[in-house]
Amino acid sequence: MEKIQHNHVQAKGLKLHVAQIGTGPKVVVFLHGFPEIWYSWRHQMVAVANAGYRAISIDFRGYGLSEHPSEPEKATFNDFVDDVVAVLDSLGITKAHLVAKDFGAFVAAMVGILHPDRVSTIILLGVPFLLPGLSPLQSQLHLIPPGFYMLRWMVPGGAEADFGRFDTKTVIRKVYIMFSGSLPPVAADNQEIMDLVDSSAPLPPWLSEEDLAEYGSLYEKSGFRTALQVPYRTMMLPCGLDDGKIRAPGLVIMGEQDYIMKFPGLEDYIRSGKVKEFVPNLDVTFLAQGTHFVQEQLPEEVNHLIISFLNKHCE
């Protein structure tokens, strides 16, 4: 970890935080989700660097150590796509492998369609290949209960009031514990999402108090203004790319115990092979004990899968 270097690059007038380790022409760019940050890739960055790759992990605009856009409430997934391309341009990188988690999967998929010449492969964890608007799952969306956390956080002001009752570190603790479960977080009508988890509940065994302190510190700096806008308040907005195809080789790594697997229609979308209509050259791997945070929970297994896939497509 001490060998990871940190700096900022300019992206459309904003300073974006970039963590890097390793050297050489083979580049892997890691894209985080929520409640994650560049730090969530710490195990993978070191591993791929040791395997001969240059590892880069960014904080999207408004997250962690990156600057907020001037109007966070107007941010979109397209802005995050621009962040990825701007980082590549700033660092003089022509083409890279993308590894993305959670909502980062939407960003990676959009980059794969809009900028295919910049992408060697795409590896996704926790969320399969989807686009904003969730078009392959549209017919199932009416099955989502109204207390589902995603619907609650889409409402401006709702999550702000819920989160605001706690310090940032406690919010991240609750979200990490909640998202580590195998059941989707759903609140009752008279219940707040943050109250689904007791503040004194223990962390998952693979996340230390030191890790939590790091996350808490980074979100203390950034707050949640941009994080609630992207992904939650833009997730259902179509991006106009539904007819696109991703030509780069893809890999999806999903935990069998990931609560996302119970999102209406999602498991069938993966297991039926329908996802391959979007990404024809696709491998899918399930980890039996994996939860939503497979890269932190099972780093050795995930690192092996990532590096094997990268090596296969770097020959």
DSSP the chain: -TT-EEEEEEETTEEEEEEEE--SS-EEEEE--SS--GGGGHHHHHHHHHTT-EEEEEPPTTSTTSPPPSSGGG--HHHHHHHHHHHHHHTT-S-EEEEEETTHHHHHHHHHHH-GGGEEEEEEESS-S--TT-GGGGGGGGGS-TTBHHHHHHSTTHHHHHHTTS-HHHHHHHHHHHHTSSS--B--TT--GGGGS-TTPPPPTTS-HHHHHHHHHHHHHH-SHHHIIIIIITTTS--S-TT----S-EEEEEETT-GGGGSTTHHHHHHTSGGGGT-SSEEEEEETT--TTHHHHSHHHHHHHHHHHHHHT--
Please count the structural domains in the chain: 1
Mind telling me the catalytic residues? 102, 232, 292
pLDDT, tens digit, for every residue of 5-23?
A: 999 999 888 999 999 999 9
pLDDT, tens digit, for every residue of 229-245?
A: 999 999 999 888 988 99
Confidence class for position 127, pLDDT limits 50, 70, 90: very high
Give the domain range for residue 217: 5-313
Percentage of the chain with pLDDT > 70? 99
Q: 1 pLDDT exceeds 70? A: no
What was the pLDDT predicted at 115? 97
Residues 94-121: what's their mean pLDDT? 97
Residues 139-152: what's their mean pLDDT? 92
The CATH number assigned to the domain holding 234 equals 3.40.50.1820
Average pLDDT of the chain to the nearest whole number: 95
pLDDT, tens digit, for every residue of 176-230?
A: 999 999 999 999 999 999 999 998 899 999 999 999 999 999 999 999 999 999 9
Confidence class for position 315, pLDDT limits 50, 70, 90: low
